[in-house]
Amino acid sequence: MKNHTILRTLGIRAARFTGALLLAAAGCDADVAVDLDVDPPNLGSGGGSLGVCGDGQLGLGEQCDHGPSNGPGQLCRSNCQLNVCGDLELGPGEECDQGSANGDHKPCTSQCLHAVCGDGLVGPGEACDDGNDVDGDACTNACVLASCGDGIAQPPETCDDANTVDDDACRNTCKAASCGDGVLQTVVGEQCDLGPANGPPPPVAPTVCSTSAATATSAPASSATTGRTTVTTPAASSTAPSTCAATATPGRWRAATTATR
């Protein structure tokens, strides 16, 4: 290469000059002739020309020179400078190059690649970008923040059906429907739901039967004969948990009586 030849020539002549100085310093009586011709060597028919960009020879100030292969999209630009990201010229491996307008949050990133969801850089139109393919975390694979109603169940959501129907199996709060939530969900078998007002079914009313001879009061699963009246009393019901099932409101209870003659 031309500049290498120049440097080598200059180095040889500088070495000669240094040697002459050393001899003079040592007190040598002989005359010392030192050739200090530092003109650039003849590099061809130009007689000392350093070449031009595009001649295929690396000249001074050139980073590269691939001759006719220089140009846009090539490793060596038409000005004999290396093609790098940020030089406004699209080079090998680059998808875009907007020079100083490149940036990690711009359409063309600082790596000269188009901004896309999943590259880990929050680009135009993206609310987030965590660079992974996990759809159930705080940033979805569509680069939007997770929210109830997006159809993806993310903690602390227990469900997400992406609709606005509140009486199905998944409520609009992204919680699974359950007895006691105050919303009637017939799809899960509820007959009623009053929320905190839910309670156990009312107990069976006690049996009271009055006759002219005596008065019978309730007793667990027993029968008593008093005078001419037989009273049958059902067993008292125990308290049962709430099941969101409708229960009939007890009316007037009458004991079954059998008159004997």
Instruction: Give the closest residue to 231 by CA, choosing from 259, 202, 193.
Output: 259
Domain boundaries, the chain: 1-50
Strand partners, 145: 139
DSSP class of 44: S
- CA dihedral of 91, 96, 100, 104, whole degrees rounded to 10: -120
State residue 13's pLDDT score: 45
Q: Note the pTM of the prediction, 2 decimals.
A: 0.46
How confident is the chain (261 residues) per 10-residue block, as mean pLDDT?
A: 44 46 46 42 45 90 94 92 93 94 95 96 95 90 92 88 88 88 81 84 60 44 53 51 59 40 39
pLDDT of residue 200: 80
Q: In what order do the strands lie in the sheet with 229-233?
A: 222-226, 229-233, 257-259
The conformation of residue 7, written as its DSSP 8-state character, comes to H
What's the pLDDT at 18?
46
pLDDT score for 98: 95
